[in-house]
Structures are given as structure tokens and as C-alpha cells.
Structure 1
Amino acid sequence: MTADRVTEALLALEDAQASTKIQGYNDLLDKILAQPDQLSSNLVAYVQSILGDSVGIVTSRPLLASFVDKLASLPDADIKVAVGTQAIDALAPKVVSFEEQDSALKLMLANSYEQNEDFTSSAKVLQQITLDSSQRHVTDDDKAKIWIRITRCYLEEDDPTNALSYLNRVKNVIYNVQDQPTKLQFQLSQARISDSQRNFLDASNSYLNLSLEPVIDEEERLQALSAAIVCAVLAPAGPKRARQLARLYKDDRTPQCDEFAILENIFLDRVLSPAEVKAFAEKLQPHQMAKTADGSTVLDKAVLEHNLLGVSRLYSNIPVTNLGSMLGVDADRAEAYAAQMIEQGRLSGYIDQIDALIHFSNETSNSEVAKTSGASVGTRELRMWDANVQGLTEEVERVTTMIQTTHPEFYELKMGA
């Protein structure tokens, strides 16, 4: 239909009796959608008409709901964005009377922006949805879905700061959320934000927990497990990472992951070769290859620290120059990394700067480090024994929790006895 004919039809409907308006507007909308010519301008004129003063609120609400449904069914995202944006502007002065329709319209517009991969615009539209209103009740599930979606949009745009602000809102209501997919999206968003902010140890733990969720497909669980391994490899070397590596290494599924070889070499304190590191680096995300303060990448630093720990298992002491050669860096940098790790309690030993020697200790002399690690950084056998004991206790706790959940009467009977 031409713009002139649409305008004439709208003027006629505005003056028509209330009993015929709804059917008349619906018929006109179908005719507009059937003609692709001037579709955007005709749809904008239509929505402005049904929101006009000549059409009452009682009539406007079902007409606007039908308009949003049919607009959402259009395949062209650009048309939906153009019409949806102007429809929201037209609705703004009356939004209090049309909150349900306004929310549906903004959700449709957000979908259209995401269809065009404009995730920032989608997030901004979703932020405008009214979630605290006296006109309608919004459940915690609905709030969490919107906030999680905003979080994911910002993560797609590599903006973890804004993503974290909305994830923190979800944390306030997540314990009341019943929708399982929303809970899983929350866990995934936590992992991705920690990953983006280079909190790799937290990210690895979140990805690992996600990989254990039985409701997720097997392929997606393996992807989460692979992400957990990658983040564990990139985490700073030390007792905390050693425990995480032990959890991953004893998982029966890890041999199915491409990253199992490097996981095994790191867990068994083998020095990593340049070729192995290069192959691993090719699979990393851009933020995981970001430069650190000293000009090296996160992976370079993680590998250097790991190799330094590996050397400490092989030697009681070593000249700083020889250590630098083994690590592929100059002597000053090798000494700086060793000093930093010793200071932070991630490496046991001391540096003799007069003789230019680094002395390693197989036992942890610092009591605080011993408390933190839960074991000494001793021999490989002791660490594997510790990992096995920890794994056994975790399995016992998991089975106990499953019994309590599945058979609470039996659990209470036995615990009471």
C-alpha cells in the first residue's frame, strides 16, 4: 500500500466507532505487511495512530500487542530496528499504561539488534525495561533472565566491567530463581567474566563446576572442561593451581580433551617445550594472549613460572645464568621471577645474590604457605597421594549430598542413629 492510502485508512479508522476499530486496524495491518513497498514508514504511521488520543487505552493495548507479535515475525532485522525504535519513542509518554506491551516491544528490538550482532545496543534497550513497577509483578526469574541477557551482551562486546555490574544484580536474586537454564547461564557468565579479567583460577573452577552439570549436553560439558584446563594452565603457578590441576587430572573425562597432553606435563612437573607451548597458544582467545606489565603474554608468564617450578624439582640449587638459559630468558629476568614467586609463597627457597645461586627447598619452610596449600610442595608422589585423598573425600561428600537429596528420610534416619 502507498503511504497516502495508508494515511487515509488510518484517518478513517480513527473516526470510526469503537466496536469496529480493533477489527479494522488488524485488517489494515495485514494489508500493510502484505505489501513490502514503504513498509517501515507505513508501520510507523500505523503504530503512531493506534497510540493516538482518538484510540482509547482499552483498544490500544490489544492492538499494540498484536502489532509487536507481527513485527517480530518479520525476517528483516533492519526494518524491525527502524520501526521498533520509533515505536518505543511514540510509546514513551504513555509507557505507564502500556508496560507489558512496552517490555515486549523492547525485547523484540533487543532480539533484532542481536540478529545484526549489535550487542551493545541490545544491552542498552534491555536496560530500559521496567523491572520494578507497581503496575505489574515481575518475578525474580524474569529479572534474572533480563540481567543475565544484558551480561551476555556485554561479554560479547568484550566489556567485562559492565557485564560484572549486571551479574552482581543477579547474585542478589539467584537463590530465588527456579529456572535451570538461567542458573546455568549465571554460572557460565561468572566463568567468562573471571576469564576476561584474567582471574584464571576462579574461571577454571567455575568452568569445571559447569562441566559437572548433568542437564548439559555431553559435548558442551566437554567444552566447559576444556575451558577449565586452559584457564588452569594460564593461572599463576603455586599450591592453589596445583590443587586445581590435580582435580582436572584425576577427572576421567580429561583424556578426551585436546589439552590433556599439556595438562599432564604440567601436573607431573615436566618442563614444557617451545613447540608444545606454541601449539597450545594457537587455540587461545585474544584476551588470553594479552600482554602483561613486563611485555610478555599471560601464557609466556605461566609457562615460565611452571618451568621454574619444574627446575626446582630437579635441582637443589642452580646458578642464575643457567636458570635463565633453561627458561629461555636472561639471568636478571629469571632471578626476578624466582624472587617474586618466593616472596608470594609459590616457590620454596632463597636467593644467594653474592654467589648468584638460587637454592630450592623440597619442604615448605613458611607455615602460612603450608596452611594455604594443605601440603608441602614436596615430591611428586606426595602430591599425587594428596590429590588422590582429596579426590576421595570430594567423592564421598558428593555421594552423601546425593543421598540426602534423593532419599531425605533414609539420610535423617541414619544421621539420627
Structure 2
Amino acid sequence: MASPKIKLALQEISASADKQQGYETLLKETPSLSSPATLSQDLTTTLDAIFADSLGIVATRSLTASFVDILKQVPINDVKVEVGEHALVIFQSQASSFEEQNAQIRELMATAHEDDEDFLAAAKVLAGIPLESSQRKVTNDDKIRFWIRITRNYLEVDDTTLAEQYLNKAKNVIYTVSDREMNLHFSLCQARIQDARRNFLAAAQGYQDISFMPVIAEEERLHTLSMAIKCAVLAPAGPARSRALGRLYKDERANTLPEYSILEKMFLDRLLSPEEVAKFAEGLATHQLARTSDGSTVLAKAVVEHNLRGASRLYNNIGFDALGSLLGLDGDKAEETTARMIEQGRLVGRIDQIERVIWFEGGEATGEKGSGRAEGIVGRELKRWDANVQGLAEEVEKVTSELQLVYPDFVAANLVV
């Protein structure tokens, strides 16, 4: 129920000749006339009275604009939300006439929800703002600002499906926007979605690109570089990840970060110890520690595949059980992991299931499916022999050519045709 002072003021307005001016004055005085306990009810009662008086669309629009300005000054988030919800219900009856006020109220409510860390409610309120209307012109900059804000709120509650839906809307028109800060937020949202969806290689590239942007502070650039390293470490082992690790390892800023140690070992294909992995896991986000369908974590799977690549650099061949002991798996699981990496073109080798031995081949897989399968040993040895013979013949030819240049008479006298 409205406070006595507001009730009295409304009675005086109803008896006055200039009601619009009376409401204007009352709206300005409401914060001082009301207490925190009655402010919400006083504002909603005043708004109800304005619409009940049927002052005409022009006067009502002017008063609702003043109402929004007063609501902006209210310091209590709960009041903003409660009054805002009531106002939206009233505006709904004449939606096309109060689109601007509707949008402003929703933005106020979203800010209040964000301050209270209710990000899902903020996203839903913002999603109700009409962006395509003949009554209200909305620029591409404004549309992208709304969509990115909605995306960021959904990301705060880990709803990547709806976050991506709104980011895709922004993606269609982001090329028309030159604002560097808005482009930064778009890129950051894109990287965060890829990260949350475990597309770690794309996320690592996105984070690293952001870390070079001068529009953000040095501390933030280092933070995004740190995120890039984490994503690269979590990516599936293979040629693509090796390239990503190489880019990050060559970044001069990387050696100042706590993740540099594991980055260096992975780039150089050194084996990782459980202690190093546990320490690295302390800095990961919840979704990066989530379990996959086979029960292992994303990090555990990435480390096993990395250590398998490291083992391929140390051994020409190794038994299933010995490899499993090295990777912290049983022999059958080690064979399964190796077979999958060979099949996906992330490791070059072949498996002898009868002898339970894995043979590793030199060189780098291309990353194409099936490219990791090595040829049989006979064919491989013959090709290696041919290559050695060809290399020897080329070296003899080089020596002969040099002799002809330096000692032409000697060569002419001793050349056997």
C-alpha cells in the first residue's frame, strides 16, 4: 500500500487542472517523500494513476520517460526489479507506444540482476528488448551491444547453447562495427564458448589473439595468454596442438606465467609427472576438469596422449604392459589409446597385437585420418635402404664436381670411363 503522503499528493493531482505537471512534480519528489520500505509501492501506485487518468499518448510518454529517469536514481536493486516488473506489465497493454521505455526499464532491471549476480535473470530480461521495430530505431552497434551482453550473462551460468545463439546473431553484423572494445568483447565471448565446448585449439588461438590487443591492460593480456596456454595443454595431442604450443612457447611473455613449465615440457615432448599435472590442475576452471564419457577428465586424457607422444620419441618399440605402466594405464587401455591416435593421424606407428608390441616410426603425423599408419617393416626397410643409397650417390657426385673445379687435370687423367 502507498504511503499517506503519496496518497494525499495523488488526490490533489486528481482535483487539479494540470495533471501532467502534477505528476511530473510528484515523480521528482517521490524519493524524498517515501521511505525505503514504501518506495516500491509508491512508485507503482503513481505509475498506475498516470495510466488510469488517460492523459493522452503524448503526455503519458513524457511522464513514463520521467518515471524511468527517477527509477534510474533508485539505489536499491530489489526496488528496481520489483517496480520494473510492474511497469513492464503495464507497458505490455500498449507495447508499440512504449518500446523505448520498455527497453530502458529492462536495461535497468538487467543491471540490478547483474549487481546481485543473478546472471540468468539478467539475460532473460535483456532478451525481451525488441530490436527490430518501426517505432524505434536500433543501430547495429546497439544490437551487438545487447547480444554480447546477453551472451556474457549466459556464459556466467555456463549455458553455452543460448550464449552461442546470441553470439551468432552478433557474428552476422560485427563486421559493420569499428568500436575496438566491442570487437574485443565479441572475440572474448567467442573464445570462452569454444573453451566451454572443449574446442581447445580454437579457444587457445582466440585467447592468444586477444592477448596482443593493446586496448586491454597488460594484466588482462597476460591473463588471456595464460588461458591460451591452458587450452593448448588440454587440446588433443597431435600436429595441430604442437603448432599451437610452438606459437605460445615462442611468445616472450609466456616465461613469466606459472603455466610456462608445463608448456615447455609439452612443447619439447618431455614426459609429465603426476605432481606437475596436479599443480597445473589447480588453476583450471570447473568445465576444464569435467569428466568425459569414458570417466576420465579432459586433463587426464590430454596428459596420457602427450606422454604417449613423448614415449614415441624415446622408444622404437615398447610392449603394451610397459607402455601402460609408463602412462598409468593397463596394457589394453594403452593399446586402445595408441590405436586411436594412429587412426586419427596424430601418431605414426603400427601395432603387433600378436606380440603385444607397439612400433613407433620417425617423423610427424599429418593430422589426417589414417595418416598415422606405418607401412610393414619390409617395405619400410627397403625404402630406407634406397634413400641411403641415393644419399651416398649424391655425395659422391658432389665430391667429383668439386674435384673437377679445383683439379681439372687430375680428374681428366684419372677419370675412368
TM class by shorter chain equals: 0.7 to 0.9
Report SS of the residue matched to 2:43: helix
Residues 1:268 and 2:246 are matched in the alignment = no
Partner Cα distance (2:313, 2:68) in 1: 66
Contact 2:344-2:371 within 8 A present in 1 as well: no
User: RMSD value over aligned CA atoms?
Assistant: 1.9
Q: 1:371 to 1:324 in 2, by over 3 A?
A: closer
Report SS of the residue matched to 1:51: helix
Any idea what the Cα deviations from partners look like across 1:6-48, whole Å, max 9, x if unmatched?
234224324533xx43432232123321121411111111112
1:198 paired residue number: 198
Give structure 1 regions of 4+ aligned residues with deviation exceeding 4 angstroms: 364-372
Alpha-carbon shift at residue 370 of structure 1 (Å)? 11
Partner Cα distance (1:16, 1:345) in 2: 84
Look up the equivalent residue of 2:24 and give its one-letter code: N
Contact 1:288-1:298 within 8 A present in 2 as well: yes
Look up the equivalent residue of 1:218 and give its one-letter code: E
Partner Cα distance (1:191, 1:14) in 2: 57
Q: 1:334 to 1:42 in 2, by over 3 A?
A: same
Contact 1:51-1:91 within 8 A present in 2 as well: no
Q: 1:255 to 1:78 in 2, by over 3 A?
A: same
1:255 paired residue number: 255
Identity of aligned residues (%): 52
Q: 1:251 to 1:366 in 2, by over 3 A?
A: closer
Report SS of the residue matched to 2:52: coil
1:283 paired residue number: 283
Residues 1:128 and 2:128 are matched in the alignment = yes
Any idea what the Cα deviations from partners look like across 1:70-121, whole Å, max 9, x if unmatched?
2122221111111111011111111211211111111101111111111111
Look up the equivalent residue of 1:183 and give its one-letter code: N
Given candidates 27, 31, 45, the residue that maps to 1:29 is: 27
Query: Structure 1 residues 130-139 or 362-371, which shifts more?
Result: 362-371
2:101 paired residue number: 101
* Superposition TM-score, scaled by structure 1 size: 0.85
Partner Cα distance (2:67, 2:313) in 1: 70
Unmatched runs of 5 consecutive residues or more in structure 1? 373-417
Contact 1:270-1:310 within 8 A present in 2 as well: yes
Look up the equivalent residue of 1:28 and give its one-letter code: L
Contact 2:315-2:360 within 8 A present in 1 as well: yes
Q: Based on CA coordinates, which of the two structures has the bigger radius of gyration?
A: 2
2:185 paired residue number: 185
Contact 1:150-1:163 within 8 A present in 2 as well: yes
1:152 paired residue number: 152
Partner Cα distance (2:43, 2:296) in 1: 55
Q: 1:233 to 1:366 in 2, by over 3 A?
A: closer
1:345 paired residue number: 345
Report SS of the residue matched to 1:210: helix
Partner Cα distance (1:99, 1:308) in 2: 60
Partner Cα distance (2:142, 2:111) in 1: 16
Partner Cα distance (1:14, 1:336) in 2: 82
Query: Structure 1 residues 50-59 or 101-110, which shifts more?
Result: 50-59
Report SS of the residue matched to 1:221: helix
Look up the equivalent residue of 2:22 and give its one-letter code: G
1:116 paired residue number: 116
Alpha-carbon shift at residue 64 of structure 1 (Å)? 1.5
Report SS of the residue matched to 2:291: coil
Alpha-carbon shift at residue 227 of structure 1 (Å)? 0.2
Partner Cα distance (1:366, 1:222) in 2: 31
Look up the equivalent residue of 2:171 and give its one-letter code: K
Look up the equivalent residue of 2:107 and give its one-letter code: L
Number of equivalent positions:
370
Query: Structure 1 residues 59-68 or 298-307, which shifts more?
Result: 59-68
Contact 1:148-1:167 within 8 A present in 2 as well: yes
Contact 1:207-1:225 within 8 A present in 2 as well: yes
Alpha-carbon shift at residue 2 of structure 1 (Å)? 5.4
Partner Cα distance (1:106, 1:246) in 2: 46
Alpha-carbon shift at residue 288 of structure 1 (Å)? 0.4
Any idea what the Cα deviations from partners look like across 1:230-258, whole Å, max 9, x if unmatched?
00000000000000001001011111211
2:389 paired residue number: none
Any idea what the Cα deviations from partners look like across 1:192-238, whole Å, max 9, x if unmatched?
10111111111111101111111111111110000000000000000
Q: 1:219 to 1:263 in 2, by over 3 A?
A: same
1:405 paired residue number: none
Q: 1:76 to 1:165 in 2, by over 3 A?
A: same
1:399 paired residue number: none
Partner Cα distance (2:114, 2:14) in 1: 35
Look up the equivalent residue of 1:196 and give its one-letter code: A
Report SS of the residue matched to 1:134: coil
Partner Cα distance (2:255, 2:335) in 1: 36
Q: 1:5 to 1:328 in 2, by over 3 A?
A: same
Q: 1:104 to 1:2 in 2, by over 3 A?
A: closer
Superposition pairs of residues 158-173 of structure 1, within 5 angstroms = 158-173=158-173
Partner Cα distance (2:364, 2:217) in 1: 43
1:241 paired residue number: 241
Partner Cα distance (2:178, 2:52) in 1: 40
